[in-house]
Amino acid sequence: MAASTVASLRELLGGVPDLSDVRLQKVLVSAKRKVKADGVDSTHEAFADLQEYCAAGILEGTGEIMGPLASKSVADVSETYASIAEGGWQNLYRRELVSIIGKRGFIV
């Protein structure tokens, strides 16, 4: 699978109208380098997903977005987001990375 796109990252993040395409593209480039440095080849089927999770983690870390939606209630219009400590985007990236690399350090 190829690298992720700005449109795909926007969809994952629920639109993020406050962030420009240029900013999202810059973060995607940084995330691509990070995922490759962590040992996942850009041809791996989960590469784009990992790149998006990593990019979202970068944006969450800088305070530009909130963590993943943890719960939502329709009647009272209440939304709860996971914080970095509770398992934000970066933790999701790490969990997915470990499931790909495996316990022995090999790409599966």
Dist. CA 16–CA 9, nearest whole Å: 9
Q: What does the pLDDT average to over 6-19?
A: 93
Q: pLDDT per residue over 54-107, tens digit each?
A: 999 999 989 898 766 544 555 555 555 455 455 688 888 998 998 888 755 555
Contact assessment for residue 40 and residue 50, using Cβ atoms and an 8 Å cutoff: yes
Paired residues of 72 in beta bridges: 79
Indicate the SS3 state at residue 85. helix
